[in-house]
Amino acid sequence: FRFDNLAAGDYEVRISLPAGSGPTTPTSVWRTVDLQQAPSAVEFGYQRSQNGSVNGRVFFDNDADGAFNPGADDGRGGAIVELRDTGGALQATTTTAPDGQFQFSGLISGEYVLHLAVSGSPTTLDRPVSLPFSAPYASVHYALPPTDGQQRIVVFLDENGNETPDAGEQRFGGLTVQRDDVLCGGSFTVSDDAVTNSSGVALFSAPLNTFGCTRVRPGDMPAGAVPHDPYGIVLATTAGVLWLPLEPAGTLLVQPYWDADGNGLRGSGEPLLSGIQVSVGGTQATSGAAGATFSLGGSTHSVSVQPPGNMLVGVAQPLVVSVIGGQSLALPVPLRYTGSIAGSIQASGGTATWGSLTVLLEQLDGAYLAQQAVPAGAPAYSFTQAPPGTYRLRLASVPPGWALQTQPVFAYPAGSTVGQNLTLVKLGSASGHVYLDKNGNGQRNSSDPATSAYGVTLLNNAGQALLTVTPAADGSFSFPNLTPGVLYAVTANLGNGIGAPNASVTQWSGWFSVDSSGVDVSIGVFPYAWPDDQFNVVYGTVTAGGVPVGGAEVGYYLWKDGEGCDNPSGIQRRTRTDGNGRYQLQTIVLPFDLF
């Protein structure tokens, strides 16, 4: 080799030797070119091994694991194996021995290609082979699908969900695999069965005459695994190897609990119930201290709970849940006593700081009296087996600094379930909750959750903001130290944006004054943007002399010619301005109506 027309300087000359070559000299040399005399020649030396070899085996992979197992697989004798160079030129040819083995020896180190000539085989026939100089040896094996006319069903744990056994995925031995000559989906009638070997292969002497179904016998299912399809896998009429995947089990923990306050949400004081019968997709279990646990496949399942005679399930059945393989899911299910009076002691405008309290249930005619101690941190109570009549709920004693908002009086029909809460209100304060009025009806329903997303502003009697607070996580707020006899109001803040607010005030307690009993002033907020083709939105700001006015009531009437707003239709919808005088009013009108 030669490099011409070089400028004066120092140069590095490097060589990249082909595969299979071992250098006998350095592969990098420096030379100085000074334009006065030629530098000494650069010489690179290498050698190649003369005793390389390639061996391997051609075999029928009866257990479909890609490796030769003497107890399961059969060698393929008489197959022609060719050794070629990378350009395709034939270097040598051999024929496999009866056990499928072959070998090429005396090879020069370097790159080759092995070609297997097997008629009708789907296996990749050309395999590249590299024989490095330092260790010019290689083993190449060809795993061919069996051609003995038998059907092999491989049972494995399909951890990645591709329905194909991959390296590292567990195979199950000792399981009974069943076949049915009817397609999957109906009842399963066993035509024949076979037990899997240590490679997870169940061997059947011949395929079925028609398309059918195969499954692992239900009683043989290994721990932590469930069927990929509970109805089985469709079975082809061909011989060879077929996959029967199992998948990691997901865990569903069904937790029946006493829904003491009847709101359908499990609170900290509502206990789990033992001894309740639970059914998931036909599998039954009895709940223990933590519930009832089911191992299920990653799909949708139907759940039913059978309550005892004195209870009922508080949600529609069956419940439908989706379980993800390998993951755990807890499903609380509310149960309520039949013929009960239940509720909880709630704090309005603050956090409960009292200890144990005693709840009294008394019949107004004095014929029945019951009491129940409610410990701190578990405010739920329930009275059962009370006779029909008119009752009053109250506390035996009220904790200092609080006042009982009301002593509810109610009728209790025989066999009914009545929910009645007791609310304690902070003294000398205006307190309440902010909740999302999901249906916009201005009344809090059991499905309307508390929210802390909206600040609450205290207004004076001129509608001017005095103080703004952020509700607690449970939506509660409180304004302490208010002057008795002075009119106040509270309203939710709808934001300071330029466009329409993204919510409306639907429940507003009006103007109030505080006394020693305290005031409960809950606020309902309708938080949704107006749906297409259902609402038109009117928004704006109410001011007096240029100053925003909070707490102003804004409503709309349908317009009637000759009468204006004074028509019999009455007000259609109303809202209140927030602390910045802003409001959003959602109207239910047809296009081109005047209002």
Bond from prior residue into 318 cis (ω within 30 degrees of 0): yes
Compute the distance between CA of residue 562 and CA of residue 109 in angstroms, rounded to an integer.
107
Say if residue 85's pLDDT is above 80. Answer: yes
Could you tell me the domains of the chain? 9-48 (no CATH), 52-144 (2.60.40.10), 151-248 (2.60.40.10), 250-337 (2.60.40.10), 340-425 (2.60.40.10), 429-587 (2.60.40.10)
Q: What is the mean pLDDT of the chain?
A: 85
Residue 297, pLDDT > 80, answer: no
| pLDDT for 534 beyond 70 | no
**Which of 65-69, 417-421, 528-532 is least confident?**
528-532
What are the residues facing 359 on neighbouring strands?
372, 395
CA triple 199-205-209, angle to 5 deg: 120
pLDDT at 149: 81
CA-based nearest residue to 503, from 531, 525, 522, 524: 525
416-428 pLDDT, tens digit per residue, is: 889 999 988 766 7
Give yes or no for a contact between 383 and 361, defined as CB atoms under 8 angstroms apart. yes
Whole-prediction pTM: 0.39
Question: Regarding predicted confidence, which is higher, 498 or 41?
Answer: 41
Which tens digits make up the pLDDT trace of 433-444?
Answer: 999 998 888 888
**Bridge-partner residues for 11, per DSSP?**
31
The pLDDT confidence band at residue 67, using thresholds 50, 70 and 90, is: confident
Per DSSP, the residues of 469-495 read E---TTSEEEEESPPTT--BEEEE---
Banded model confidence at residue 148, pLDDT cuts 50, 70, 90: confident
pLDDT surpasses 60 at 533: no
- 60-79: average pLDDT: 81
pLDDT at 287 over 80: yes
Give phi and psi for 536, each to the nearest 5: -110, 145
* Average of per-residue pLDDT across 175-183: 91
